[in-house]
């Protein structure tokens, strides 16, 4: 008996859920005035239009980005090729067997031509080198790899470029790897000066002793 009552109760609950889910019945039960119904429909229409407009804008942006930055990955790979060319030049120039040879000069000149052509192609595709030397360190463009003591530069000034950085329009392709200046440590500076004075004094004493022996 209890089982039948539970089943009836369960079926009644299902009916209530169906009624609640039925938009037509809910709409009728609200018993709205005609002007309220019109306002409700206008609100729904405005929200639907706004959503369509947002989707259209997102699509337009994605399409523009795909056009402007579609070659982003390819550009990065091209930069790796330029880096490899630079490393090859350095390796050849530091080879003792090739130094001052005509073969070295011709090979390096050929690599320079290839490198310039590749950079020219990048520029035509809105990819530009980041200016680094003598610029203030910019965390958005530069990555500091080391500090170099230099009292002639403001602290945080780029004094050496370890690897060139590039921008693709307004987007960072890769940062410049740089060394930045810092003030000389006063204690180290004084120590170096003292050591130099001692060396000069020692040399002076040696010269004086030698002169006395000669006399």
Which pair of tokens denotes residue 94?
């530091």
Is the per-residue pLDDT at 94 higher than 80? yes
| Average pLDDT over every residue of 151-178 | 91
Residue with token string 């990955």: 73
pLDDT digits (tens, 9 = 90+) for 183-208: 887 655 555 565 666 666 666 655 55
Distance CA 30, CA 1 (A): 38
> What are the CA-CA distances from residue 146 to residues 39, 130, 179, 180 (Å)?
66, 18, 5, 7
Residue 12 placed within a domain? no
- For residues 80 and 46, membership in a common domain is answered with no
| Average pLDDT over every residue of 84-107 | 85
Distance CA 1, CA 14 (A): 20
| Average pLDDT over every residue of 32-57 | 73
- For residues 180 and 191, membership in a common domain is answered with no
- For residues 78 and 56, membership in a common domain is answered with no
The answer to whether 177 and 158 have CB atoms below 8 angstroms apart is no
> What are the CA-CA distances from residue 42 to residues 27, 39, 104, 137, 191 (Å)?
15, 5, 78, 55, 83
Handedness of CA 73, 74, 75, 77 (dihedral sign): positive
- For residues 174 and 209, membership in a common domain is answered with no
Which pair of tokens denotes residue 85?
């060319």
Is the per-residue pLDDT at 89 higher than 80? yes
- For residues 114 and 150, membership in a common domain is answered with no
Among left, alpha and beta (phi > 0; psi -120 to 50; other), residue 172 is beta
- CATH no. for residue 177? 2.30.22.10
How much of the chain, in percent, has pLDDT values that exceed 70?
62
Domain that holds residue 209: 185-215
Residue 156 placed within a domain? yes
Question: Where do the H-state alpha helices sit in the chain?
Answer: 2-21, 23-30, 34-69, 72-93, 102-124, 186-214
Is the per-residue pLDDT at 41 higher than 80? no
Residue 15 placed within a domain? no
Residues in Cβ contact with 144 at an 8 Å cutoff, skipping those fewer than 6 apart: 137, 178, 179, 180
> What are the CA-CA distances from residue 85 to residues 104, 105, 116, 185, 202 (Å)?
14, 15, 11, 38, 50
Is the per-residue pLDDT at 18 higher than 50? no
Poorest-pLDDT segment among 105-114, 143-152, 199-208:
199-208
Residue 20 placed within a domain? no
- For residues 38 and 62, membership in a common domain is answered with yes
Quick one: pLDDT at residue 3? 45
Poorest-pLDDT segment among 2-16, 86-100, 201-215:
2-16
Among left, alpha and beta (phi > 0; psi -120 to 50; other), residue 31 is left
């Amino acid at each position: 008996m209890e089982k039948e009552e539970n089943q009836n109760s369960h079926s009644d609950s299902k009916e209530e859920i169906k009624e609640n889910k039925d938009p037509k019945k809910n709409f009728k039960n609200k018993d709205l005035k005609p002007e309220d119904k019109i306002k409700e429909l206008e609100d729904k229409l405005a929200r639907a239009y706004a959503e369509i407009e947002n989707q259209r804008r997102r699509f337009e942006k994605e399409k523009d980005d795909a056009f402007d930055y579609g070659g982003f990955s390819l550009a990065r790979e091209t930069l790796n090729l330029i880096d490899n060319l630079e490393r090859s030049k350095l390796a050849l120039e530091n080879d003792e067997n090739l130094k001052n040879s005509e073969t070295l000069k011709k090979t390096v000149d050929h690599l320079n031509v290839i490198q310039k052509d590749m950079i020219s192609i990048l520029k035509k595709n809105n990819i530009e080198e980041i200016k680094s030397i003598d610029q203030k360190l910019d965390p958005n463009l530069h990555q500091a790899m080391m500090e170099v003591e230099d009292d002639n530069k403001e602290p945080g000034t780029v004094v050496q470029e370890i690897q060139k950085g590039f921008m693709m329009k307004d987007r960072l392709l890769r940062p410049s790897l740089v060394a930045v200046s810092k003030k000389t440590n006063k204690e180290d500076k004084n120590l170096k000066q003292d050591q130099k004075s001692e060396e000069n004094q020692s040399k002076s004493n040696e010269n004086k002793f030698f002169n006395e022996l000669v006399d």
